[in-house]
Amino acid sequence: MVKILLVDDEVFARDAMAKIIKRKGFEVFLAATGEECISVFKQEDPHVVFLDIVLPDIDGDHIHNYLRELKKDVAIYYVTGSETIFTEEQANRAGAVGYLQKPVDMTELFKVLDNIKKKFEEEKI
């Protein structure tokens, strides 16, 4: 089963996304801070991370770089509520697989999850 780590300090956004991720058949782990993210990442070894860029303790860009050091092939999707802080182009340059703008459009999230599922099914072949 594909493991997804969802990192967001906004409880409502995190819980709403987590419900959808679970319904789509993924195993989901949650973190509200950068420190929690790193701890859960080391413990659960997820395949995919949905990473809020603005967290209360550690900048999302720094977390991204650290996670890449731990696991080069982890798929990281940036999630942010402000285009002025981080744009899709910057996310791509930083090595993120994708980018979701908050509030997250559920149709867009479904597409991303379907693509993740397809990618991991193809890799099993």
Only one residue has tokens 């092939």, namely: 73
Name the CATH superfamily housing domain 3-116.
Response regulator (3.40.50.2300)
Q: Write the pLDDT tens digit of every residue in 14-45.
A: 999 999 999 999 999 999 999 999 999 999 99
pTM: 0.92
86 confidence band (pLDDT: 50, 70, 90): low
Evaluate the CA torsion angle 52, 17, 84, 94 in order and state its sign: positive
